Amino acid sequence: MKSIRNASRLATALIGATLLAGPAAAQGAEKVRVGLMFTLSGPSAVLGEQGRDGFLLALDTLGKKLGGLDVEVVTVDDELKPDVATNKARELVKRDRVDFVVGPTFSNVLRAVVRPVTEGGAFLISPNAGTSNYAGAECNPNLFVSSYQNDQVHEVLGKYAQNKGYKRLVLLAPNYQAGKDSLAGFKHSYKGEVVNEMFTPLGQLDFSAELAQISAAQPDAVFAFMPGGMGVNLVRQYRQAGLSTIPFLSAFTVDESTLPAQKDAAVGYFGGANWAPDLDNPQSKAFVAAYEKKYGSVPGTYAMQAYDAALMIDAAVKRAKGDLKDKDALRAGLKAAEFQSLRGNFKIGNNHYPIQDFYLVKAAKRPDGKYETQIAEKIFSNYQDNYAAECKMK
């Protein structure tokens, strides 16, 4: 992977032409200020790198403007530490005066930054984390999600396991909000027996104890949610432990962020996603080609969702005619989502989470030697999360 850039804080002015055109000029606004907050250090940095790079690629595509306005980007590393993220979120809003914060990568960080960002007067666009509480009773008028509700991708694998007739499963996830959401989502669609449900510390890299329990249980299949470096090690150790005869189902464990390190050890393993690099539509194909050309790696959903986050902001600023002080117009523009998503079907629900399609994907090695996930079958169409009814926003 590329070396980590912007590991702490890097302000990058992306200045286009000096003259503003049309409605934006009439409002006299100079630029849109965006704070990017991703995990850019440690074993999970690859996820944040994809998010950051996807957003910046969208800016390139948009001529380094959002809604016709020049853009200033401030990038910070949340270090996967909620307390660090809280302080940096306050700095982005109070010191850097950003209009939008795009991030974070992980759900425990999302929970830490929602209040300082949204109560500070900025909009928070989450391009990855999508916890259940903000999809339901704690939904927030200034929080929008361009990815999914955490449970949904895991529901794909639960539905697949149910359809395959697997009777006994072992479930494995890290012990934090997204891990809990992942297993809840899986069990929402899977009605068989869960013979063991294991939660590990976030960041654990040695799974020998868990693999021994799986070997002893001999389940019909295993479902795992282990993003980043955790997933790299789990898949390698799973193969090394001789467990490949037990079907391995996962979400955010075998994807474009982990496959370059997992390589052949992951080929044939199934995952769930709202998009894959081989999705057959013009905008997605153009995105994949541009990303690979610029960054030299295959983009995953982390990059795609951050790219779409930039398109959401672009559409919202256009809707507000460049008036960044008109929060109601910006909010209406974010909810209207008047742009062509890379994933195709996409709209924002009443809780500000997407309604979209979900797929079973399979890890594969391409003829050029690179690895990617490929769509195996569509599992859900225009699917809204199970918490939206609890949200009182209209």
pLDDT tens-digit series, residues 118-167: 999 999 999 999 999 999 999 999 999 999 999 999 999 999 999 999 99
Q: So what's the pLDDT on residue 178?
A: 86
| Distance between CA atoms of residues 73 and 61, nearest Å | 15
Tell how far CA 111 is from the center of its chain. 15
95 three-state secondary structure: coil
For range 220-233, the mean pLDDT: 95
Tokens representing 39?
């995990």
Q: With CA atoms as reference, report the closest residue to 169 among 150, 191, 200.
A: 191
**How many whole angstroms separate alpha carbon 50 and alpha carbon 29?**
30
Measured distance CA(116)–CA(87) in Å, rounded: 9
For 255, phi and psi rounded to 5 degrees? -155, -170
Which element (helix H / strand E) includes 208?
A: helix 208-217
Residue 359: how many other CB atoms lie within 10 Å:
23
Distance set, CA 226 to CA 13, 167, 183, 338, 353 (Å): 35, 23, 12, 34, 23
CA neighbours closer than 13 Å in the CB half-sphere of residue 291: 28
State in Å, rounded, how far the first CA of the chain is from the last one.
42
State how far the Cα of 145 lies from the Cα of 248, in Å rounded to an integer: 29
Please give the domain boundaries of the chain with CATH numbers for all domains.
9-148+280-348 (3.40.50.2300), 151-273+358-390 (3.40.50.2300)
Cα–Cα distance for residue pair 201/187, rounded to 1 Å = 21
pLDDT over 80 (residue 224): yes
The pLDDT assigned to 43 comes to: 82
Average pLDDT estimate for 184-193: 95
The least confident of 1-15, 24-38, 280-294 is 1-15
Confidence category of residue 4, pLDDT binned at 50, 70, 90:
very low
With left for phi above 0 and alpha for psi between -120 and 50, is residue 68 left, alpha or beta? left
Q: If you average pLDDT over residues 289-297, what whole number do you get?
A: 97
